[in-house]
Amino acid sequence: MKTTIKFWGGLRTIGGNIAEITYGKDRIIFDFGLVYDPANVIIDTQQRKQSYVLDMLKLDAIPAIDGIYSKEALTGTSFSMKKPQPEEESAYQTAVFISHLHLDHMGAIDTLSPQISIYMTKGSKQLYDALENIGEGLSVHKETIGMSYGETIQIGEISVTPIQVDHDIVGASSFLIETPDATIVNSGDLRMHGANPEYTEDWLTNMAARNIDALLIEGTTFRPDTNDAETAEESDILVNGKTLLREHNGLGIFNLYHRNIERIHTFLQMAALTGRTPVLEAPTAYLAHQFLADAKFEVFLDGSSKHADIAEQLPPQYDSVTAADINQDPAKYLLQNSFHLIHNLLDLDLKNSIYLHANGMPLGSFDPAYTSMQALLNRFGVTYHSLNVSGHAKKEDILYIIDRIKPHVLIPWHSHHPELIKPLDPKQEVHYPKKLGIWQPTTAIMTD
Ligand SMILES: [Zn+2]
Ligand SMILES: [Zn+2]
């Protein structure tokens, strides 16, 4: 028996990284997310619940891996598409491991057969469950299993150990995968300029002391147009945000991605340090209550009853605030505003207000909504300021990580330009996998 790695996606894209490691009939798959693809916008799970999995396969939104989808989900006409073998007929013992809860890493786990175990860290699971409670779960409910960092999960002869790394989401993890003949590391998404660089440092020290056959590393920031010198650090958000809020004697507004719990904490701190009251939208307030002990904030009541059910789940210690309350003295508030609720700004006195954009949707000019956001803020006379900080390591940090781990083979992925990752050590072997390519550590066979 020999270990094999097979690559199913995410090789020249950001996200949709899916690889399969087998040893005999034991098999693990990591991660199981979606790549944003304009061709997939027609997927409407409510309208076509019965054919959800088959639809996703036909659109190439999920890979046709044998033995992971249920017979029932594969029922229906597939025309020229060859259906994968149903889970019920597979001889493999399979488990799926999710490194973190960004959609590009977990957005398709609801297509998997109920018989397939899905593992994620306890922090990820807590977030997964909380997201379901605020209506941001996946289309189909799927049970998951939480694991502690450092806890080894045995799938037959394959063992998987999640090890904490710093990324811009709670619960992020790298995976150390050991089989009888190979040691493989999947870095997951990580960075060294975040709120907790020590997580990534400790992971690195641990990995550098091992004999790693293959290191799968993310290379998001390797693009021809990026410059490390321009990379903002997580700590800049608080420092710059404080200064900007002090310079504006109107309402402070911020837009973030609320799966980044530490970022919510940063804005609560920023409000406290500038004498403003932080006001959160109900779904974010729910997450802050779940994850941040003793957090102090108020909850925005936006007139519509959209989030009333979520607001009701919050304990009474959080006061609610209306636009009328804020308009009495806008400079006393730091209000969260997500783009899909930007119409709420119409109810507010926006004189001298400032909008702090910290990686909330829409992320950048590649999204048509970004132009709308800028146009609306302009119309409202709101000063826009970007406080975006990347969740992905700078190029020099990725090269440093590779050089310290010195794997036998480096496998770059999760990058539009993996070939731009040029290891510091010219002797470092690099393998650029192709879709459905197989890599075998023991014989150093690479079939693409
Ligand atoms: Zn990612
Ligand atoms: Zn990520």
Residue at which a domain ends, from 336, 359, 386: 386
Residues 108, 191: one domain?
yes
Per-residue confidence band for 146, with pLDDT thresholds at 50, 70 and 90: very high
Instruction: Output the CA 13–ligand 1 centroid distance in Å.
Output: 9
Q: Is residue 84 part of a domain?
A: no
Residues 214, 261: one domain?
no
Instruction: Output the CA 226–ligand 2 centroid distance in Å.
Output: 18
Q: Is residue 44 part of a domain?
A: no
Nearest ligand, CA of residue 165? 2
Instruction: Output the CA 399–ligand 2 centroid distance in Å.
Output: 19
- Contact (CB, 8 A) for 189 and 105: yes
Cα four-point dihedral sign 78, 82, 87, 89: positive
213: left (phi over 0), alpha (psi -120 to 50) or beta: alpha
354-358 sheet: strands from edge to edge? 320-321, 298-300, 277-280, 333-336, 252-256, 354-358, 383-386
Instruction: Output the CA 100–ligand 1 centroid distance in Å.
Output: 8
Per-residue confidence band for 442, with pLDDT thresholds at 50, 70 and 90: low
Q: Is residue 171 part of a domain?
A: yes
Residues 150, 32: one domain?
yes
Percent of the chain whose predicted confidence (pLDDT) is above 90? 82
Per-residue confidence band for 369, with pLDDT thresholds at 50, 70 and 90: very high
Residues 323, 437: one domain?
no
Nearest ligand, CA of residue 167? 2
Instruction: Output the CA 141–ligand 1 centroid distance in Å.
Output: 22
Instruction: Output the CA 100–ligand 2 centroid distance in Å.
Output: 7
**What is d(CA 188, CA 175) in angstroms, rounded to the nearest whole number?**
7
Instruction: Output the CA 189–ligand 2 centroid distance in Å.
Output: 5
What's the pLDDT score for residue 149? 98
Instruction: Output the CA 17–ligand 1 centroid distance in Å.
Output: 8
Residue at which a domain ends, from 386, 406, 432: 386
Residues 164, 268: one domain?
no
Residue at which a domain ends, from 365, 386, 407: 386
Q: Is residue 86 part of a domain?
A: no
Residues 401, 311: one domain?
no
Q: What is the mean pLDDT of residues 393-419?
A: 96
Cα four-point dihedral sign 203, 209, 210, 211: positive
Residues 18, 142: one domain?
yes
Mean pLDDT of the chain: 93
The strand pair at 445-447 and 438-440 is best described as antiparallel
Residue 336: partners with Cβ closer than 8 Å, 6 or more residues away: 253, 254, 255, 256, 267, 278, 279, 280, 281, 284, 300
Per-residue confidence band for 16, with pLDDT thresholds at 50, 70 and 90: confident
Nearest ligand, CA of residue 13? 1
Q: Is residue 54 part of a domain?
A: no
Instruction: Output the CA 80–ligand 1 centroid distance in Å.
Output: 32
Nearest ligand, CA of residue 219? 1
Dig out the tokens for 422 from the structure: 């040029």
Residues 374, 397: one domain?
no
Instruction: Output the CA 15–ligand 1 centroid distance in Å.
Output: 5
Residues 29, 120: one domain?
yes
Q: Is residue 45 part of a domain?
A: no
Structure confidence by residue, pLDDT tens digits, 89-104: 999 999 999 999 999 9
Half-sphere exposure (Cβ direction) of 248: Cα atoms closer than 13 Å: 27
Q: Is residue 77 part of a domain?
A: no
Instruction: Output the CA 93–ligand 2 centroid distance in Å.
Output: 27
Instruction: Please check the confidence at residue 382 and state whether its pLDDT lies above 90.
Output: yes
Structure confidence by residue, pLDDT tens digits, 189-241: 999 999 999 999 999 999 999 999 999 999 999 999 888 888 899 999 999 99
Nearest ligand, CA of residue 391? 2
Instruction: Please check the confidence at residue 26 and state whether its pLDDT lies above 60.
Output: yes
**What is d(CA 446, CA 441) in angstroms, rounded to the nearest whole number?**
9
Number of structural domains the chain divides into: 2
Q: Is residue 305 part of a domain?
A: yes
* Residue 343: CB atoms within 10 Å: 11
**What is d(CA 234, CA 232) in angstroms, rounded to the nearest whole number?**
7
Q: What is the mean pLDDT of residues 16-27?
A: 96
What's the pLDDT score for residue 14? 82
Q: What is the mean pLDDT of residues 410-433?
A: 95
In CATH, what number is assigned to the domain containing residue 357? 3.40.50.10710
The strand pair at 182-186 and 173-179 is best described as antiparallel
Structural domain of 175:
3-39+92-225+392-447
Structure confidence by residue, pLDDT tens digits, 71-80: 999 999 988 8
What global pTM score does this model have? 0.95
Q: What is the mean pLDDT of residues 32-36?
A: 83
Per-residue confidence band for 48, with pLDDT thresholds at 50, 70 and 90: confident
Half-sphere exposure (Cβ direction) of 315: Cα atoms closer than 13 Å: 9
Residues 241, 219: one domain?
no
Q: What is the mean pLDDT of residues 390-395?
A: 96
Residues 196, 276: one domain?
no
What's the pLDDT score for residue 38? 67
Dig out the tokens for 349 from the structure: 């006195």
Residues with CB under 5 A from ligand 1 (ion): 15, 104, 189
Structure confidence by residue, pLDDT tens digits, 271-314: 999 999 999 999 999 999 999 989 999 999 987 777 888 988 99
What's the pLDDT score for residue 39? 67
What's the pLDDT score for residue 367? 86
In CATH, what number is assigned to the domain containing residue 403? 3.60.15.10
Dig out the tokens for 399 from the structure: 């090269």
- Quick one: three-class SS letters along the chain? CCEEEEEEECCCCCCCCEEEEEECCEEEEECCCCCCCHHHCCCCCCCCCCCHHHHHHHCCCCCCCCCCCCCCCCCCCCCCCCCCCCHHHCCCEEEEECCCCCHHHHCCHHHCCCCCEEEEEHHHHHHHHHHHHCCCCCCCCCCCEEECCCCCEEECCEEEEEEECCCCCCCCEEEEEEECCEEEEECCCCCCCCCCHHHHHHHHHHHHCCCCCEEEEECCCCCCCCCHHHCCCHHHHHHHHHHHHHHCCCCEEEEECCCCHHHHHHHHHHHHHCCCEEEECHHHHHHHHHHCCCCCCEEECCCCCCCHHHHHHCCCCCCEECHHHHHHCHHHEEEECCHHHHHHHHHCCCCCCEEEEEECCCCCCCCHHHHHHHHHHHHHCCEEEECCCCCCCCHHHHHHHHHHHCCCEEEEECCCCHHHCCCCCCCCCECCCCCCCEEECCCCEEEC
The strand pair at 26-30 and 158-164 is best described as unpaired
Residues 438, 326: one domain?
no
How would you class 312 by CB atoms within 10 Å of its CB: exposed for 0-12, middle for 13-18, buried for 19 or more?
Answer: exposed
Q: What is the mean pLDDT of residues 405-411?
A: 97
Cα four-point dihedral sign 313, 316, 318, 321: positive
Instruction: Output the CA 14–ligand 1 centroid distance in Å.
Output: 6
